[in-house]
Amino acid sequence: MMMANVINNPPTPFVHNMGPIHPGKMIFINGIPGANPSRFNINFEDTPDGPNTAFTCDFRFNFGYDRNVIVRNSMQNNNWGAEERAVSYFPMAPNAYFEMIILVEQLGFKVAVNNNHLLEYKHRLQPLGKFSFLRIVGDVKLTQVRFQ
């Protein structure tokens, strides 16, 4: 069952059934990373914390050897694929408000932060319609999540 289109100040971890993803669907995520963040990630899953993740976008401020890295990946049957890490810039900062838009397109996801294009990620898992859960975890205070 699909719930509200706008969720204000949700707790983290955040798990929500947003309905099946499809080309044209937009997800708006507004929030503030912590004062001394390690990482936070956004996941599109078939079930909450399930065996299949169509897209994870992991913002790593200070995690292991990673500093200001954005790791993207997909998981099929609890097995991660090859990581994608190349980006032209890291748009996040501790305690700094951000507005993110994730657009689902026919060929992949497009991510923009603060009205600037950040990255694209080609779909690896099909059909897209089986992915209906959004999960956001880590060092971030969410101020609003909206679906369109």
Strand partners, 110: 103, 120
Q: What is the mean pLDDT of residues 4-22?
A: 95
- What does the longest C-alpha to C-alpha distance in the chain come to? 40
Residue 51 CB: number of other CB atoms within 10 A? 12
Q: Are 13 and 145 in contact (CB under 8 A)?
A: no
**What pLDDT sits at residue 1?**
42
Share of the chain above pLDDT 90, in %: 96
Closest residue by Cα to residue 49 from 78, 19, 10, 27: 78
Q: What is the mean pLDDT of residues 127-134?
A: 97
d(CA 38, CA 40): 7
Query: Which class is 6-147 in CATH?
Result: mainly beta
Confidence category of residue 83, pLDDT binned at 50, 70, 90: very high
**What pLDDT sits at residue 4?**
59
Tens digits of per-residue pLDDT, 101-115?
A: 999 999 999 999 999
Domain-wise residue ranges, the chain = 6-147
* Amino acid of residue 142: L
Confidence category of residue 100, pLDDT binned at 50, 70, 90: very high
d(CA 125, CA 74): 8
Q: Is the pLDDT of residue 139 over 80?
A: yes
Compute φ and ψ for 109, nearest 5 degrees. -100, 145
Confidence category of residue 50, pLDDT binned at 50, 70, 90: confident
